[in-house]
A and B are shown apart, each in its own frame.
Chain A
Amino acid sequence: MSWSRAKTILIIFFVALNAVLLANILYTDNKASVISADVISSTVQVLEKNNIYINAGIIPKKAPSVKSDEVTNVIDEYRAFAEKMLGADGVGDMGNNVFDSTGGTVEFSADSFVCIPKNPWYSELTQNVNEKNAAKTAVNILKKSGFDMSSSEAVAENRGNGEFLVKFTKTLRKRPIFDSALFVLMSGEGVKKIYGSWFEYDGLVSGKDIPTKNVTGVLIDFINSPLRPQGEVRIEDLEFGCAVNENTQYHKTVMPVPVWRITLNNGQSVYMDARKVQ
């Protein structure tokens, strides 16, 4: 056999072999992130045996991939943030993490703040506020106050008496940060209160992949979790997101932990750690 013919045979062989390997890699990769119907069905049965009921249709079939991203607290330092909200002039430290000026007060607790103007702010922006434009109005106000409102979701609530409360949730690569939210309370007279906690993600440095448990594994963990309520439990919703966790202390920067939010039929939400600890 000539070398030329041998080469031809080898080329055909390696093309076929590489095709098989590539197909195997793609299939296995896809398989690793997909939860089979059998597994879902088995999980539902195990849950029911433990008095927990869930519609199999709400269990996601694909395991999300997560990166260990770091977010930065919009509050870099209490006094500096208070001056940013109230203006730099005449801000006094009243003690107990309370700052005061002629413009209003800002009070801090761990990552959270409550800013109450002495007289409503931005009345020129809120004079025609209604349920439809409340979210957009609040975004404009917060941007003027120096907040980065990109990658955020808003929900507006009509409180009656012309008052609207808009809640903003930050999303990290489309995953909501569950335990951090920013609220704007306003009426036609202006902004009456801005409060909550807020983290910003610059997206410049991408973290490493975090190995996570499948949602079915999390549901099994939920059976014996101390967070599970006693008696019959009905799960209404499952959502994947992240949490700063441990809200009793201040975080300058933090890598939010991936969590599954389990919403029960009584409105209660339980957050289960989704990290696969090895």
Chain B
Amino acid sequence: MKKEQFKSILLSVLVVLNVFLASQILIDKKLWPSGYNFFSHTENSGIFSIVSKLFKNSESNMISRARMTMPERIIINTGDQTTRISLNSSHGLYNQLNENTYSALADMFSKVKNAVQVEPGEWYAALTGKSVYLSYEADFDAKLYLRFMGTAESEVLSAVQEISDVVLLPLSQKVMIVYMRNRSDDTYYKISSSDCENEIEAVIDLVRQNAEQSGGDTSPVINYSFDLFFDKAFGNQRVILDPMIPIYSTPQSYRPITSENPIIKTDGTVNQYLLDKLLHAFGINSSTVRRYTEASGTLVFVENNATLKISPDGFLDYSAREGTNGMKISDSGAYSEVCAVADFMDGLNAAITAQKELSVSSVDSDGKGTVSVAFDYTVQGLPVNMTKQGQAVYAQASGGCLQKYTQLLRSYSVKNEVMQTPEYITALDLAIAGHMDEDKTVVIKRMSVGYTDDGSIGDKYAEWHIDVKD
């Protein structure tokens, strides 16, 4: 019996050893006969590569398109100020409503060719009825916006230059009017269709019923600045608010957050595992790249076509070297490049466990083939305002190549406590106090709640962020 047991054990060991030795040959490149790569052979086989590319590209493009047009805020106008609600990305209804409005808009833009310019009064009237207001942080080039909505570049909406905000006014399940606002020159446009299947009116009614049944005591009453005529000066009124600034009757509740640098800890130690993943995302071979540290402690990686720097406080700066194009990320063209940047950014942040929620804050094209796009982090649906860097992520691409990419590497965790911002009027008074000696009317362009991050590691709090027009 003992002899048989020994034979069984020996056989098992030999089988395991055999599997190990065979795997060494399959995996270790040095041991392959030249030109042989088992996995590469499968991946590169004609059908496999075509099919995988098909799915990968179409899926990632869909996701990129949809995420580029996620509004900073959705306001559901029910016709009453008491039941009007404002949603950010942390709200339970946001995703559903975003999908509904995206589908409706994509349908509209595919069917309607021309937009007509309208008076501001019509835009305001739509907001006082049953409608949905999509507020974007970025001002989109109209053609690019349409591409994000799935409409191929064409002469659709040729009259519209930029799209900053959108209002959907459903008249029934099939009849829809869409208004678009260009914040830069304060012009308004509309398109309409009697063949736009949508469920938006049903969602608005549901929201109104829920609000009425719950009493609405805990929700703030929301008015737009134009509702209260704060956008028009009278007498010695020193302050004018942009007509679309939402005015909340009560302070906003939020949870403080804590920031962290995922790559470099406060004591200076580097998470080498995540750093390698970051380098890999940029196509940099951590074994062969030229690497050194500057006097400031900034890590520098030098490749043939680009330099990557990471400062101790987590500021990442990738720049194509002069005379080179940078990393190839897409086909040429603003749409492809912007989607590819969004994909790249999402992949990078997932790999290094940085904050994954980001919203687009600007998309610009210089008309000469270079496109630049910026993103802000969002936590609990609120944007994180970087007081030092300006934006969390900034990228520049041209000819399908990434020429510049900067990011303040951060991850945020939410604390358990609940705090409140000051009332909007208190914040406004404080902001205005600094302009009292100026002998002119102060124009407030934007006013919203967001976290403030000065670039240091630690607790961050939300406050009102007020943009005064220069």
Interface residues in chain A, defined as those with a beta carbon under 8 Å from any beta carbon in chain B: 4, 7-8, 10-11, 14-15, 17-18, 21-22, 24-25, 28-29, 32, 68, 70, 77, 207-211, 244-246, 249-255, 257, 275-278
Contacts of B294 in A (CB 8 A): 249-252
Complex Cα–Cα for A10 and B13 (A): 12
Complex Cα–Cα for A114 and B286 (A): 34
Nearest B-chain residue to A13, judged by Cβ: B14
Stretch at the interface among B19-27, B219-227, B352-360: B19-27
Could you list 30 A-B pairs, sorted by A, with CB under 8 Å?
A4-B7, A7-B4, A7-B7, A8-B7, A10-B11, A11-B7, A14-B15, A14-B17, A15-B14, A18-B14, A18-B17, A21-B21, A25-B25, A25-B31, A28-B30, A29-B30, A68-B287, A207-B287, A210-B287, A210-B288, A246-B302, A250-B295, A251-B294, A252-B294, A253-B292, A254-B293, A255-B291, A257-B290, A277-B285, A278-B285
Complex Cα–Cα for A251 and B301 (A): 12
Known: A18-B21, A68-B286. 16 other contacts (CB 8 A): A11-B14, A14-B17, A14-B18, A15-B14, A17-B18, A18-B18, A21-B22, A32-B30, A68-B287, A210-B288, A211-B288, A252-B295, A255-B292, A257-B290, A277-B304, A278-B285
Complex Cα–Cα for A232 and B293 (A): 40
State whether A14 touches B14 (Cβ < 8 A). yes
Nearest B-chain residue to A251, judged by Cβ: B292
Contacts of A29 in B (CB 8 A): 30-31
Nearest B-chain residue to A19, judged by Cβ: B21
State whether B286 touches A208 (Cβ < 8 A). yes
State whether A245 touches B290 (Cβ < 8 A). yes
Q: Does B297 belong to the interface (CB within 8 Å)?
A: yes
Query: Given contacts A14-B15, A15-B14, A21-B18, is CB(A276)–CB(B288) below 8 Å?
Result: yes
Q: Does B425 belong to the interface (CB within 8 Å)?
A: no
Nearest A-chain residue to B8, judged by Cβ: A7
Q: Does B159 belong to the interface (CB within 8 Å)?
A: no
Interface residues in chain B, defined as those with a beta carbon under 8 Å from any beta carbon in chain A: 4, 7-8, 10-11, 14-15, 17-18, 21-22, 24-25, 30-31, 285-288, 290-295, 297, 302, 304
Nearest A-chain residue to B303, judged by Cβ: A277
Interface of A, secondary structure class, is mixed
Q: Output the least CB separation between B232 and chain A (Å).
A: 59
State whether B31 touches A251 (Cβ < 8 A). no
Complex Cα–Cα for A209 and B285 (A): 11
Query: Given contacts A4-B7, A209-B287, is CB(A22)–CB(B21) below 8 Å?
Result: yes
Complex Cα–Cα for A255 and B11 (A): 47
Q: Output the least CB separation between B249 and chain A (Å).
A: 55
Complex Cα–Cα for A229 and B3 (A): 73
Contacts of A244 in B (CB 8 A): 292
Contacts of A278 in B (CB 8 A): 285, 288
Nearest B-chain residue to A12, judged by Cβ: B14
Most buried by B among A15, A28, A252, A276: A252
Most buried by A among B14, B290, B292: B292
Q: Output the least CB separation between B28 and chain A (Å).
A: 8
Contacts of B18 in A (CB 8 A): 14, 17-18, 21
Contacts of A245 in B (CB 8 A): 290
Query: Given contacts A4-B4, A7-B8, A252-B294, is CB(A25)–CB(B286) below 8 Å?
Result: no
Nearest A-chain residue to B288, judged by Cβ: A275
Contacts of A7 in B (CB 8 A): 4, 7-8, 11
Contacts of B17 in A (CB 8 A): 14, 18
Nearest B-chain residue to A33, judged by Cβ: B30
Contacts of A277 in B (CB 8 A): 285, 288, 304
Most buried by A among B14, B25, B286, B302: B14
State whether A11 touches B287 (Cβ < 8 A). no
Complex Cα–Cα for A82 and B304 (A): 35
Contacts of B291 in A (CB 8 A): 68, 70, 254-255
Complex Cα–Cα for A217 and B245 (A): 66
Q: Output the least CB separation between A61 and chain B (Å).
A: 17
Contacts of A77 in B (CB 8 A): 295
Contacts of B11 in A (CB 8 A): 7, 10-11, 14
Query: Given contacts A4-B4, A250-B295, A255-B290, is CB(A24)–CB(B25) below 8 Å?
Result: yes
Complex Cα–Cα for A15 and B13 (A): 10
Complex Cα–Cα for A4 and B5 (A): 10
Complex Cα–Cα for A24 and B21 (A): 10
Contacts of A275 in B (CB 8 A): 288
Complex Cα–Cα for A135 and B72 (A): 70
Nearest B-chain residue to A249, judged by Cβ: B294
State whether A211 touches B287 (Cβ < 8 A). yes
Q: Output the least CB separation between B135 and chain A (Å).
A: 46
Nearest B-chain residue to A257, judged by Cβ: B290
Nearest A-chain residue to B4, judged by Cβ: A4
Q: Output the least CB separation between B40 and chain A (Å).
A: 13
Nearest A-chain residue to B290, judged by Cβ: A257
Contacts of A70 in B (CB 8 A): 291
